[in-house]
Amino acid sequence: MPDQPIRPFSPPTRMLMGPGPSDVHPRVLAAMARPTIGHLDPAFIGLMDEIKALLHYAFATANPLTMPVSGPGSAGMEACFVNLVEPGDTVVVCVNGVFGGRMKENVERLGATALVVEDAWGDPVDPMKVKAALAAHPGAKALAFVHAETSTGVESDAATLCRLAREAGALSIVDAVTSLGGIPVPVDEWGADAVYSGSQKCLSCAPGLSPVTFSPRAVAAMAARKGKCRSWFLDFALVTAYWGSGAKRAYHHTAPINALYGLHESLVMLHEEGLEAAWARHARCHAALVAGLEAMGLPLAVAPAHRLPQLNSVRVPDGIDEGLVRARLLERFGLEIGAGLGALAGKVWRIGLMGQSATPSHVLACLTALETVLSGLNAPIRPGAAVPAANAALFG
């Protein structure tokens, strides 16, 4: 034990504008502080049913199997793969960043074969490559891809990719961790089969839960498995007995009750705002941030047609220590932005505009702080240009 007395932890106040988590809305924090009740309490079971209904709205789906996994987005990812993929299966996996690589890892750990369709970091998944891969492997069980690649800030064409999978007789497994609530994720319109997300990004909620939804086609595939799911905790044959409808629930695990209070509140807020309004808010803040960054002299790393409004990859000026900039932003302004990963490490910053962090005040504060720090390091930028450009984009 340390010599000094141990006191309750008091976290510093931060403005979270990295790749996640984003700022948690005060309403969500307040909801999480409500009294804990039992996970089989009739009142809690009613809350579970409301969460499922609200997730139907958020995912734009009528899939009966729609619920939050007790764990972060990575748990939702693993739940999708471990329930749908068996040893000996073949899965076409699209890799254009870190999280496509994690999909590949899941496939291989399950004793299946991952056929990788690779695109450059900063580019979207190429549908023509996917079509060719599916044609070359007609027995493929599934196509797996990331809709919104958090490591690069790129959006891929989910509608086309899901259609290609369906036409090839394969299931589609879609990473929407950074998508849900920030850009359209119309699951039924896409015909997507398994989609997972996370609570800590555009939903303005705390980390720790992963909303998922499975199509009837995916449910049928699970029922037709040759062997048991390799994970007991994530086996949906068991979990769905707990997340069923009405009063009869079979005990599986103790759900994170207070975290689910928070998710419920965040989904209520999304419903109050409206999906289209939430998407428009993210787009408006993105346009303002880009206007300010470009006026300052900082280009983005992704082509405009494929940029995610909620995750912006910004090129680091030559000669600038990107880690030092992030450290000074955190120390002097309480502002967190993200570093580049993998092929983009040291080359970009990742600036998030997600959920509660997608507001005009966040955009203006970020631009002001970034300009101040870069000016202090004699970076080749145009001082005084960013905020006026952002204001013009925000308010005309």
- Reported as a single tens digit per residue, the pLDDT across 108-145 is 999 999 999 999 999 999 999 999 999 999 999 999 99
Residue 75 has pLDDT above 90, yes or no: yes
CB atoms within 10 A of CB 153: 28
Query: How much is the pLDDT for 246?
Result: 60
User: 241 Cβ partners below 8 Å, 6+ apart?
Assistant: 249, 250, 252
pLDDT band at 396 (very low <50, low <70, confident <90, very high): confident
Residue 248 has pLDDT above 80, yes or no: no
How remote is the C-alpha of 184 from its chain's centroid? 13
Residue 61 has pLDDT above 80, yes or no: yes
- Reported as a single tens digit per residue, the pLDDT across 27-56 is 999 999 999 999 989 999 999 999 999 999
Query: How much is the pLDDT for 1?
Result: 58
- Joined together, the tokens standing for residue 341 give 């990963």
pTM (2 decimals)?
Answer: 0.96
Residue 3 has pLDDT above 80, yes or no: no
Rounded to whole angstroms, how far apart are CA atoms 42 and 374? Answer: 55
- Reported as a single tens digit per residue, the pLDDT across 81-90 is 999 999 999 9
Query: How much is the pLDDT for 144?
Result: 98
- Reported as a single tens digit per residue, the pLDDT across 267-292 is 999 999 999 999 999 999 999 999 99
> Can you list the domains of the chain with their CATH numbers?
26-272 (3.40.640.10), 275-395 (3.90.1150.10)
Bridge partners of 117, per DSSP, are: 94
